[in-house]
Structure 1
Amino acid sequence: MSDNQLRPRTPVAPAPAPAPRRSAPGPRAVAAFRAAAPALAVYAAVRALGLLTLWAAAEVVGKDPWARLTGRWDSVWYQRIAENGYGYTTTLPDGSLHSDLAFFPLLPALERGILEVTPLTLGGAGLLVAWTSGLLAAWGVFAVGTQLRGRRTGVVLAALWGVYPTAFVQSMAYTETLFTALAAWALYAVLRGRWIVAGALCVLAGLTRPSAAALVAALAITAAVTLVRDHRAGGGLRTVLRRRARMLTGVALAPLGWLAYVVFVALREGSPFAYFDVQAQWGNNIDGGRALASFIAGLPWPAALGLCGALGLLGWLVVLCVRQRQPLPLLVYTIAIVVISLIGAGYFGSRPRLMMPAFPLLLPPAAALARLRTTGRHPAAARAVPAVVLTVLACASAGYGAWTLLGAGPP
């Protein structure tokens, strides 16, 4: 008998099963982009129409359209912060003080970063941020609409957001597109159960605009309702908290950006309420709607009646959102944005702009227009209706935007 036959044999371990193949992030991102491409194309088209209309109108009246987009109103304050940091204060003829501490830091930080690595001016950097954020916002709006009502509704929703009456601000070096992009993707993350991603996006939104408080409230209230529901379903408190650890982490993250800036202003000015004092100096304090009521009362009756009609339409859209049972985070966010925009004492003309990030308000009309494509006794005519409506709205929005930007008052 040979040595090999006498030597004990070592059992051979079975080969490990191959790990399941996961789709790479790259292909998923490409597929998501392809799905959103129609929405992005329509959004880009309506915003391009707005810019072309502005350029043509500015040529007629002999004004510089570039300066209207980058060199007036809030954009100047952001560029000054990007160039010199915080510390600028101006005194108005009535003696009130306007401090640049009223403006949150994310946009000027991005403008400064782009200035350092590109040949763009600060104005060009602001437009790059705004226009890129506009596309990301349209993508996020499309994603939310698609998640809730299907791809057609998502496309129409993104288009309607692009033809909002004050959508011309989306082409300016302002924070509206940046904030809406962060808010839309944060809400989408909540709808998909990705709470930590949502919380991180809320942090950035809180460094962009004070209205991030509405987004924080959306996450917090949704989480509270979820915890109560789980507990009533029979889960023990510790079990529920352990199961919802990621949700609680996202909620804990959400207010940190907003709080960080409020604390920064407090430390800089030596007062715990310094940020709110700065906003009050700008006339942005909360007065419960008295300024709005006084403004309406001071208008000629036809204008007052028209404004009341617009507010009625706004209220009707909110009611539709509730009746159509939009998910709780969207409802809380939308209602909070609307309320914040209406109960402040600030300049009335800015209120439609402040409500622009409340894109879920447009979901009921977007769903109605999308349904027209497949219903009705005349399908071909029904399919043409959304395109006709969006074209008319895009032209009206472009004309109104050019008229406003070439005027004297701020948006």
Structure 2
Amino acid sequence: MKDRMKVSSYPIKNKQHAGSMESCEKRSRARRYATPLSAVLLFSSIKVFGLAVLALWSHTQEKSAVRLLSQRWDSLWYVRVAEHGYDFTLKAQDGRELSSKAFFPLLPWLERGVSAVGLTPSQAGLLVSAVASIFAALGLFHLGRHLHSPQAGTLLVCLWASLPVAIVQSMAYSESLFVALAAWSLYFLLQDRWVVAASLACAAGLTRPVGVALGLAICVHAFTRLRHVDNKGKILASCALSLAGASTYILWVGVQQGNFLGYLDVQEEWGNGFDFGYSFALFIGELASPSPIIASLFLIVLIAITTAPHLLMYIQGYPLPLIVYSAVVASMAMGASGYFGSKPRLLIPAFPLLLLIAVTLSRSAKPYLWIAPLAVTSALYGAFWLNGSGPP
């Protein structure tokens, strides 16, 4: 049964490639390093390099790299939740009431728990993020190995670590924690380990709003599997559990606000909403021309960019739950009407898109050739970005 759920049963795996004996030997040497330990070591090396570049860059700006990682923007709000619960609000200069209820609770809960050993909540946030990023790397490796090959899993880890905004993975933010939960949830889901996958999805739903993407992926998988299994009650219960985290918190905020849709009101005060990408397209279009026609063209391009990779995944035979998860994450990121500079960060959980690249690279004679320049670019951009004025 497990074999049917693997992409390995589709054309993207075990495809024979013509090549010289030398190329085969190079690929064989590369595969020897495709292990969980090597993936974690490569990931850690990329992260350490990025942090070293950040430290040097910050030193030239007379700033503290540790402070930039742990006490800026959203990380401050997570600390406020850890220290004060959800009673903290801040009055913006334009009169908006910014509430800490916009931030999901799992990371601040962990910060509060870890700080009990003598760390400050911000230090605890860095520790949680660091540990979670390692588990995320392991989850991505196992997912890539399950879907294609150990080498694809290792390359997936390296690509994720080398994203332009990958510095966020080292900040006291919730991205690393969420991706760790999401990657392992999908991995167990593709093996029909329903309860474990749903439990991790529930935890992810308490981490970020996009946790609903995991719940939807599990529900779609359940819909395709119900007719083939006997224990339908277990599967249906797993569907409910997978959506329980995000829905429970959103409903709780609604009760606190005295409005069923209170969470949307909280997000509106922060300037966040969802308009299917129209605001983003308008923002990009106005950089080129104030014409609404130009904005409409950018919207069409935006939809195409979001849709095309998932269509390709479907054509190549990737499991439907993986496609659903990635499509929902990408749609929520690109369709959001909030701060446009945050969109690259919001796409960090859309790691299945990187699997397309990882699989392609794994078939080359020198699959790791591009990792070093990507890591250098990521480190430089991350240091520049974090030392800038705008939030990620």
Q: What range is the shorter-chain TM-score in?
A: 0.7 to 0.9
Among the aligned pairs, what percent are the same residue? 42
Structure 2 portions without partners, runs of 5+: 1-33, 290-294
Cross-structure match for 1:375: none
1:48 maps to 2:48 = yes
Counterparts in 2 of 1:311 and 1:262: CA distance versus 1, 3 Å? closer
Cross-structure match for 1:283: 271
Cross-structure match for 2:27: none
Cross-structure match for 1:115: 115
Cross-structure match for 1:144: 143
Counterpart secondary structure, 2:280: helix
* Cα distance in structure 1, aligned partners of 2:277 and 2:306: 15
* Cα distance in structure 1, aligned partners of 2:334 and 2:200: 25
Counterpart of 1:103 in structure 2: which amino acid?
F
> Once the 2 structures are TM-superposed, how far is the Cα of residue 226 of structure 1 from its aligned partner?
2.0
Cross-structure match for 2:98: 98
* Cα distance in structure 2, aligned partners of 1:266 and 1:310: 32
Preserved contact between residue 313 and residue 356 of structure 2 (Cα < 8 Å): yes
> Once the 2 structures are TM-superposed, how far is the Cα of residue 225 of structure 1 from its aligned partner?
2.1
Cross-structure match for 1:263: 251
Q: Deviation per CA, 1:22-79, whole angstroms, max 9, x where unpaired?
A: xxxxxxxxxxxx9411111111111111100000111122111111101110000000
Structure 1 portions without partners, runs of 5+: 1-33, 231-239, 373-381
Cross-structure match for 1:191: 190
Q: Deviation per CA, 1:111-170, whole angstroms, max 9, x where unpaired?
A: 000111x22221110000111100101111111100010111100011111111111100
* Cα distance in structure 1, aligned partners of 2:308 and 2:261: 36
Counterpart of 1:274 in structure 2: which amino acid?
G
Deviates more, 1:304-313 or 1:96-105: 304-313
Preserved contact between residue 214 and residue 332 of structure 1 (Cα < 8 Å): yes
Preserved contact between residue 296 and residue 307 of structure 1 (Cα < 8 Å): no
Preserved contact between residue 321 and residue 363 of structure 1 (Cα < 8 Å): no
Counterpart of 2:381 in structure 1: which amino acid?
Y
> Once the 2 structures are TM-superposed, how far is the Cα of residue 318 of structure 1 from its aligned partner?
2.9
Cross-structure match for 1:377: none
Cross-structure match for 1:65: 65
TM-score by length of 1: 0.82
Q: Within 5 A, what are the aligned runs for 1:269-348?
A: 269-300=257-288, 315-348=307-340
Counterpart secondary structure, 2:380: helix
Counterparts in 2 of 1:147 and 1:174: CA distance versus 1, 3 Å? same
Counterparts in 2 of 1:388 and 1:308: CA distance versus 1, 3 Å? farther
How many residues are matched? Answer: 353
Counterpart of 2:251 in structure 1: which amino acid?
V
Preserved contact between residue 185 and residue 198 of structure 2 (Cα < 8 Å): yes
* Cα distance in structure 2, aligned partners of 1:139 and 1:197: 16
> Once the 2 structures are TM-superposed, how far is the Cα of residue 315 of structure 1 from its aligned partner?
4.6
Preserved contact between residue 187 and residue 198 of structure 1 (Cα < 8 Å): yes
* Cα distance in structure 2, aligned partners of 1:85 and 1:148: 41
Cross-structure match for 2:79: 79
Q: Deviation per CA, 1:173-219, whole angstroms, max 9, x where unpaired?
A: 00000001101111001111100101111111111000011111101
Counterpart of 2:140 in structure 1: which amino acid?
V
Counterpart of 2:90 in structure 1: which amino acid?
T
* Cα distance in structure 2, aligned partners of 1:245 and 1:344: 35
TM-score by length of 2: 0.86
* Cα distance in structure 2, aligned partners of 1:122 and 1:56: 25
Cross-structure match for 2:26: none
* Cα distance in structure 1, aligned partners of 2:259 and 2:137: 39
Preserved contact between residue 195 and residue 249 of structure 1 (Cα < 8 Å): no
1:386 maps to 2:385 = no
Counterpart of 1:297 in structure 2: which amino acid?
G
